[in-house]
Amino acid sequence: MNPHLREHARIRFTSELDHTKIDPSLVFVPIPFEAAGIRPRVRENKVLRVGHSPTRRTAKGTADIIESVNRIRRHLNFEFLLIEGVSHSRCMELKATCDIGIDQIGNYAGTGYGRSGLEFLALGIPTITEIPKEYEKLLPKQPFMKATKRSFEGVLAELLSNAHLREEKRKEGIAWVRDFTNPRRIITEVYKEYRRAGWIS
């Protein structure tokens, strides 16, 4: 932690769940994300497609994900789409063709979710990620399908096999991402801290 910031900043915010464990005095605010302008998918593919779009493979546990996916495909029929090296607009086009999204597993560069997971949710796509229990209180009613490296295969198999669960998670995800990560809601939380510090009335 930067000692100069610690000394001079009266309020310090973070959007990284892990940082709150390093320094409990940090104020957690979610990554601001405007989801209202993203049109959710309404139909599933006949053969379900699972998507994963890592910015950096080592940070997202991509090697573990690919290994697990290859094992599951021995007994379940689905497509796997690894989205890399394309523009953001093309990435979103490809994500919109998926029925299930994978954000990350493992604790290679922190746990939780990133912008990729939020994009999947906004598209109405049930999304798997790793969220340790101690961070749940910071993410009330979060809609992700939680998985660890050990449980990932079972979680993915359950989503692939349960259409009702996918629809339930689809609805939960759209509602949550439009509310919880809404920039207007987040700036309201920031202003609450400003008022608490006496900076604004």
Domains of the chain: 3-32+183-196 (no CATH), 49-180 (3.40.50.2000)
Residue 107 has pLDDT above 80, yes or no: no
Can you tell me the distance from the alpha carbon of 196 to that of 143, in angstroms, rounded to the nearest whole number? 30
Asked whether the CA dihedral 161, 165, 166, 167 is positive or negative, the reply is: positive
Overall pTM > 0.85: yes
At 149, is the secondary structure helix, strand, or coil?
Answer: coil
DSSP string, 156-186: HHHHHH-HHHHHHHHHHHHHHHHHHT-HHHH
**Confidence grade of residue 166 (pLDDT, cut at 50, 70, 90):** very high
How buried is 132 (Cβ within 10 angstroms: 0-12 exposed, 13-18 middle, 19+ buried)? Answer: middle
Q: Position of tokens 């008022």?
A: 195
Nearest to 17 by CA among 146, 198, 123, 149: 146
pLDDT in tens, 31-67: 999 999 999 998 999 999 999 999 899 989 999 999 9
